[in-house]
Amino acid sequence: MLVVPLVGWQSVKQLYVALQQTRIDDQTLKVANMRLAFSESPEVASWLEPSLTAEQTTDWYAEQSRYPLFVDGYDDDWRNLLGGWYSYDSATSDNSLRLRLAKRKQRLYLFLRVTDQQLIYHSVPELETNPGEGEVPDRWLQLANGDSVHIAVKTTEGDVEHGLFRAIAPGSVAAVSGSDQPGRPAGGTLSGWRGFWSRTADGYQLEASIALPANGTHVGVAIVDVDTPEEPRQRWLGTFDPLSGQGNSRPDSTISSRIFFASESAQEQLQSWTNSGVRSRLFDIRGRLVADVNKLYTTALDDLDDEEAASFEGVLDALLFRAFSFMVADDLPLLPEQRNAAVRLNLSQDRRLSVGDDQPITTRYVTDENDRVLGTLAPIGQNPLRAYLLLEANEEHASAYAGSQLARLFSMLLLVSLLVGCGLLFFAIGLSSRIRRLSRETQQAVSVEGRVNALSGNGLTDIDAQDEIGDLSRKLSSLLSRSAQYTQYLEALSGRLSHELRTPLSVVRTSLENLDVDALDEQSRVLIERAEGGAVQLGRIIKALVDSTRLENSVRSASLQEVELGGWLRNVCEIYSQLYPDVRFVIRPQELPELRVRASPELLQQAMDKLVDNAVSFSRNASLVLQLSRDDTRAESHAMLAVANQGPAIDEQQWSTLFDPLISLRETPAGSEAADDDLHLGLGLYMVRLIARGVGGEVFARNQDKWVVFGVSLPLS
């Protein structure tokens, strides 16, 4: 089921690649038609003509502003523009000039930011009423005696219109003529020129608006700096000399900068060629933007026919297509411009050089604005090359119709595969969970001691199921039932054997006692003594088996009550001191903690008897330590009751078997009280484990320095 969608995916992806190539061919053909149309357009050709002259580093570009610009002396409404600053620095002072230009309808906007540590405003000169003979006031000093801004524009007749902005205080300022013109002497107000002067921390700034000149017109901007009103006007900074002939020089030699901006006629022609989901841009030979129509994210339904529009009516289709586009979209390369922080407005020189004289280039990439597009860059005109045309189609929008059909095909294939796969997965999960549950219940049915817990007829799950797991459950239930019956038979066997063996054992012992030992020879008396010893040992075995069986029954039916272990341990220590007068008993710690457990005092006493008897039997000296402590390392706190003696160390591999029935792994040390013919069946520690687990506790054994410790861990009440 996993192979089916993979094969379908490869097929759909190959078809999608073929459709992409078709889109490339269609877009290339469309660009070829647009190139032909713009090459034959006289309006576009005349607009591009000024850019064919030699490129100058002082050329300016005025960006088209989509929003109104207010002449208020602040650049808040300039922040949406992408064009940068043109900077001019003085070589002899700290003065600097930064300039931005923008175009809005038929107006040219200029924003100047000037660094000037000593700002001098223009002051209206006071003329003397009785000037002396030959004393003629300086008319240019009367025109501007403070810091001023000069703008020069070459008119269509070849003259220069020189405007001068001088401010007597921050605020709105009018432009006056900065040079004598026919019919208009210097100092006259220029109509249509507006400005606003504002003070800054390191100088001043001026926002101005003038009538839009022709494309490629020479336009100059300069500032004149003075430090005192009486200082001669000599220092200037900008793109033309405003003091040379008071602006009457030839503009071709004095004004080096030219102004370029977008064409409205080219914009209208480009608008008719641009559909929804496409962005078209026209650049001149120097890479300056001439026209820009951006419809990358406009609604596509208006441009599609009814059959195509129907594919977008459902929300599901749109979601499927976007998911499909996300999966098939490869990692598109970034444009070289994206390595820079700022978004470029014009076409970079690298991209202009990448296209040939007549061959367009079509590639997929991510633009500066993070748009995934299919872009075609083509040159316009031959001998000479006049402009560049860049057509970018939205990758998601342009392939929406074809992609939606492929997305629907692949989604149906994927949906069927997912439904079948999910069905198989849930079926497998159900089987595995049933098997795990059966395994867990089977494991819990057998205790650690190997006993089978009581099972009813329906003890295991799925016992009524009619499949293979149900059959397995029934067989395991039957097996556990038979094992439980056999275990019960074995547990009852010791009691039956002890009952059956007592009578013949009594006969043997009575017969041995009635023999006349004095009438026998020495060899016969030895044999009779051995027979009597074997009968005694057999009697002890039968008694131990009977005691263990009784103890198991007592543990199951014992009534529990709360026991305070500190006082209880002191009492049993006194009892053991009387029972074992040759053994010294010590309680650790001396200040016993007050610990309470729920247990049967009789059974707890019996478990302690077995631990003490075991410690006395295997101790190398006549000293035992009775220990009582609290264990808080587990989730439920426990009381640790233990007996420590100095005896043979225990092998760690034997710890798990020490408390099993009929296990005795250590030899009695020579010289101990147990170094006689006493029988050790290994049932004592087994009884301790029975009693401990009867109240939810555990048994433990460990080596501690030179001591051997046996004890029980009981949960606190």
- Look-up of token digits 């001591």: 707
Average the pLDDT over 591-619 and give the result. Answer: 88
Tokens of 668: 């009695």
Q: Which pLDDT tens digit goes with each residue over 416-471?
A: 888 888 889 999 998 899 889 888 888 878 776 666 766 544 467 777 788 888 88
Domain positions in the chain: 3-52+262-406, 60-123+144-257, 468-542, 558-715
**pLDDT tens-digit series, residues 293-332:** 998 887 654 454 444 444 445 566 666 666 665 665 555 5
Highest mean pLDDT among 253-257, 335-339, 359-363, 367-371: 359-363
pLDDT band with cut points at 50, 70 and 90 for residue 634:
confident
Token pair 């009597």: residue: 532
| Distance set, CA 402 to CA 284, 297, 299, 308, 488 (Å) | 35, 18, 17, 9, 77
Length of the chain measured in residues: 717
pLDDT at residue number 109: 97
**What's the pLDDT score for residue 668?**
46
What pLDDT shows up at residue 252? 44
* Selection from 669, 570, 666, 560 nearest residue 620 by Cα: 669
Identify the sign of the CA torsion 187, 190, 193, 196. Answer: positive
The model's confidence at residue 111, banded by pLDDT at 50, 70 and 90, is very high
CATH number of the domain at 558-715, out of 3.30.565.10, 1.10.10.10, 2.40.50.140, 3.90.1150.10? 3.30.565.10
> 60-123+144-257 and 558-715: same fold?
no
Task: Look over the chain and give the mean of its residue pLDDT values, rounded to a whole number.
Answer: 80
* pLDDT score at 457: 44
**Conformational region of residue 383, where left means phi above 0, alpha means psi within -120 to 50, and beta covers everything else:** left
Q: Which residue has the higher pLDDT, 330 or 185?
A: 185
Q: From 635, 621, 617, 634, select the one nearest 710 (Cα to Cα).
A: 617
Nearby residues of 461 by Cβ (< 8 Å), 6 or more positions away: 434, 437, 438, 441, 473
Mean pLDDT of the region 68-88: 91
What does CATH list as the number for 60-123+144-257?
2.60.40.1190
SS3 177: strand
Q: What is the pLDDT of residues 119-129, one digit of tens each?
A: 999 987 766 55
Query: Span 98-106, mean pLDDT?
Result: 94
- Tens of pLDDT, residues 456-470: 444 677 777 888 888
pLDDT higher at 508 or 122? 122
